[in-house]
Structure 1
């Protein structure tokens, strides 16, 4: 009888312990600050990378603004108190088997373990993005522009249980608006494109060797045309370099281009992408060899891809981490019938001819829609060069806000891996520039977000009491373009 009672008591104690543990794991909170006093320490491993050290510094600074408390940065284990574990090295002191496998360079982990909080991610940028995502989504920080932000005041700061692991679907995210080039704004809003001013401590970025339209920079006509006219387009029976392209079936020209490209890459070891792309006009070669391949492929893009594939193969042994980028633009926009891009080739499809008063999925944009569907079937690294302003009138109304969210979703649904959102990039002062840059940055990081909700959030947070009037104004302009049926291109004469 006593043995039976003892067993029952032991079983009851075990069940109580399990129930209490489960309740603690699901219901308890982690207290970071209480009444302006720090109740946690920030932990950073000795071998933390420069971006991870900057992430810890940023976390310390923003928590000071939010709570009024001063937080210490300590080395592991820093036991006996709640810990904010910044970076994979620090995370292992709470979870020995912690891993960033599968997170790439930008993926994040935000996870509570007991009284600790892990903020870590892939290298080089993931830990930075984990810290900023935590501050933004779980505390309420917003960085609207390079000069305007909203940082909440919470002397007592507690968080519930968190278990987030996120890998952004877009590897390349660039909001190409003038204010968004600011390094702090870019990293806090998780942009990582070529033009953002992102140094090593801010995680770096994707770096191009030659950004676009590089045929003549790689084979300059003033250097080569006199001795090698056959390297340039044949137009109406005559070789020319006046607003033309290169003769892509000429093997000697390709060898010289590769030699020049390799020299540039050796001088730019940070480059991760090299552009080998057509000039910013038509004039593709009409010699018999080039025309025959274009006819066989059903599009000039087939010849372009054969040429770019050959370049990518020739450079990959010396530069295994460099991708070759080319364009699907103007005469090369239609995908080919036969040739597919090699794994180290990026194709940037351009939406320049589209209507931006309607989503790209709309029938008005059927030709582009058909092209992206075609490219998505053959290209593993499909990027988009998208246009989000009116380049003729930066300060005039450009009612395209309602299509930003649907278009980003459309891109990601069609296997797009990188987005370059070209806006007013030469100066401040463009119409709704800060709004567009912020909304686009949010969508590029998480395309599942609702574009209209982001617009409303920005207007309320950035304009404050004037926001209602801004919303009314934007509604009027968008209603007007809808009623008129205007094409709303990116080079519209009037709006």
Structure 2
């Protein structure tokens, strides 16, 4: 173990030195090979000559929408949504009738109706709550599926797949106008989800409050979007660090310090509980039993350790760790199993959610009860390379931990970390590894995935990444390149190929490279980690030109706004590393003006946080303190010094506070 640790540290040290050398050589132009200009591909759209069925013809239609007389609330919504979008597309409002009406030749059948059995059947047991079929039967079109969300998903899938609609973010929806609405005469689609729980949103304001976005992208876990029964409802399988809420130190610690973890110094600490203590087990059990008893129909609740790596080292806990193979998760799993048995006796459908994280990341020997969901949290893995094949030490370790959990746990969810937490706007090109990782999770037993982020605007392709997650969580084997191209073409407009080349550049050319035989890696922490965006001057100029060309081709203001928003990540990276217009090898008036413009833009575009819980200063504070002389990491009070907020009058006060460490 000592030799392994030494070698790992040596590799990290050498790669860090190499990264510094790359930075210096590229900054001074020592290593600066030319980059060929980008030439967009001449894409010729294929002509579809297959037989067609006309639903609406230049302002008229013989079709009616048929729903069941006893349609579920979400099926009623599906019929209404279909009519509304067909009207938006064509200007024609189709009538909605129930299946009590006599069957007609031209019908669009939505959901469960008495028309089933006449040319088609719907196997709802196989489709479950969310699967659906889209099928043509003679002159009829059938969209039907699971009565909770399946039919709704089918309607939106039909609109996207056959009528070219797209829901890319909360405020970017594509609904093309067509006087004549035609579809293929022969449609036979059958779809069910790969993952049971899907929360793909990185950028909450862009997705959270749009029901149609969540429905169109089949995201059943975006909070506040589709909670009502009419919208199919959401799956509330959310997690959290809540041991301190269940057993507050203000209530218990003074009188019962033995309820809390004994640390390595032999001192009781409130960072986590001692879960071998019978009194602690009773507190947690009573909490769970009361919650389930008083909330009939409760789908799930959380019991997880606090956000800490501290674990109890008392003799009783250590004995359980030893029995469980030396892993400190042992006491948690044993306690949860005992609680799960009592919960199952009250409500067999209710799930307990916990986190495989920090001191509870290792799987136990004891299997986990079937009514427990374990969120596996791969926080330290490399996101530049696929987890299944990556050689990075942390990825190798996490891969084994995940494999171990898959052997003892029926319900494994993934808590994904697809942003860099040191700086939300910083480029973080995960797209090469995203699909292989999702496929790996699926084939090793994962049934849900939650994407973690709270970014306030699309400063880093977050809407695209969210959209890609949504598509791949439904079908992990979709064509990734085609998905990215479709999103960019619709979201950015005519210059989309320039942006796709930029994403290729930062993903393939400049990320996770092998330098002097040492492969560099990209983690969700550490803004300046080796291997993350190692670029030469010519590559930087090349990327600047890609952005400029794409913006010049934007025909719509909203397309230009999407481009400007995503470009914030590129500009922020340059500002943090003193590249291009932010280089210190030019007059201060030039790079300070660039800093000023960057801050004004990120403020106007709605970016409020530098990293989690770390808000940017206001524009007035930025100007008052002359923060244009500092780089973006110092545009927040956490970095400037919270004790100086409201007290500092200028940059000199800030610097003096740093030097003296004394409040002003």
Asked if Structure 1 and Structure 2 have the same fold, meaning a TM-score greater than 0.5 normalized by the shorter chain, the answer is yes
1:473 lines up with 2:502 in the alignment:
yes
Which residue of structure 2 lines up, in the alignment, with residue 124 of structure 1?
Answer: 148
Tell me if structure 1 keeps the 8 A contact 2:239–2:354.
no
Q: How does 1:428-443 map to 2 (within 5 A)?
A: 428-443=457-472
Give the equivalent residue in structure 1 for 2:167.
143
What's the counterpart of residue 135 of structure 2?
Answer: 111
- Name the CA shift for 1:148/1:267 in 2 (closer, same or farther; >3 Å): farther
CA distance in 2, matches of 1:305, 1:56: 46
1:168-200 Cα offsets, whole Å, 9 max, x none, are 121100013212213321121110115252231
Note if contact 1:274-1:325 (Cα within 8 Å) is conserved in structure 2: yes
Aligned to 1:283: 310
8 Å contact from structure 2 (residues 167, 212) kept in 1:
no
Rounded Cα–Cα distance in structure 2 between residues aligned with 1:143 and 1:287: 54
In 1, Cα distance between the equivalents of 2:102 and 2:182?
20
| Counterpart position of 2:82 | 59
Alignment of 1:248 with 2:275, yes or no, is yes
Partner residue of 1:383 out of 397, 413, 417: 413
**CA deviation profile, 1:108-152 (whole Å, cap 9, x unmatched):** 122223322221211311111111111112222111111112223
Pair 393,268 (structure 1): closer, same or farther in 2 beyond 3 Å: farther
Residue 189 of structure 2 corresponds to 164
Compute the displacement of 1:93 (Å).
Answer: 7.0
1:233 aligns to 2:276 (yes or no): no
Moved more, 375-384 or 474-483: 474-483
Q: Distance in 2 between matches of 1:174 and 1:83?
A: 35
Q: RMSD over aligned Cα, in angstroms? A: 2.2
Change (3 A) 1:222 1:238: farther
Whether 2:207 is the aligned partner of 1:173: answer: no
The reply to whether residue 86 of structure 1 matches residue 110 of structure 2 is yes
Q: 2:65 aligns with which of 35, 42, 46?
A: 42
CA distance in 1, matches of 2:114, 2:473: 29
Q: Secondary structure at the match of 1:245?
A: strand
Please give the secondary structure, in 2, of the residue aligned with 1:92.
Answer: coil
Q: How does 1:406-421 map to 2 (within 5 A)?
A: 406-421=436-451
Q: CA deviation at 1:290?
A: 1.1
Which ranges in structure 1 are unaligned for 5 or more consecutive residues?
1-26
- Cα deviation per residue 1:416-446 (whole Å; 9 max; x = unaligned)? 10011113x1411431111111111111111
State the TM-score, normalizing by the size of structure 1.
0.88
Matched, 1:274 2:301: yes
How far apart are the structure 2 equivalents of 1:159 and 1:196? 36
Structure 1 residue 265, shift from structure 2 partner:
4.2
- How far did residue 238 of structure 1 move? 4.4
Q: Which moved more, 1:383-392 or 1:484-493?
A: 484-493
Rounded Cα–Cα distance in structure 2 between residues aligned with 1:91 and 1:219: 56
Deviation at 1:380, TM superposition (A): 1.4
Equivalent of residue 344 in structure 2, options 293, 313, 316: 316
Provide the C-alpha distance between the structure 2 equivalents of 1:280 and 1:295, rounded to a whole number of angstroms: 24
Residues 200-253 of structure 1: CA deviation (Å, up to 9, x unaligned):
122111124x731111111111112223322221224746343x2111112222
Q: Check whether the contact 1:176–1:195 (CA below 8 A) recurs between aligned residues.
A: no
Contact 1:86/1:118 (8 A) holds in 2: yes
1:327 alignment partner in structure 2 = 355
1:38 aligned counterpart, secondary structure: coil
Partners of 1:28 and 1:471 in 2: how far apart?
Answer: 34
SS of residue matched to 1:102: helix
Shift, 1:264, TM fit: 3.6
Please say which of residues 397-406 and 188-197 is displaced more in the overlay: 188-197
Q: How far does the alpha carbon of each residue in 1:307-363 deviate from its partner, in whole angstroms, 9 at most, with x for none? A: 111111111122222111111112222222x21111111111111000111111222
Equivalenced residue count is 465
Correspondence 1:33 to 2:56: yes
CA contact (8 A) 1:88 1:99 kept: no
Partner of 1:206: 235
| Aligned residue number for residue 464 of structure 1 | 493
Report runs of 4+ in structure 1 exceeding 6 Å deviation: none
TM-score by length of 2: 0.67
Q: Who is 2:25 aligned against?
A: none
> 2:154 & 2:72 partners in 1: Cα distance?
15
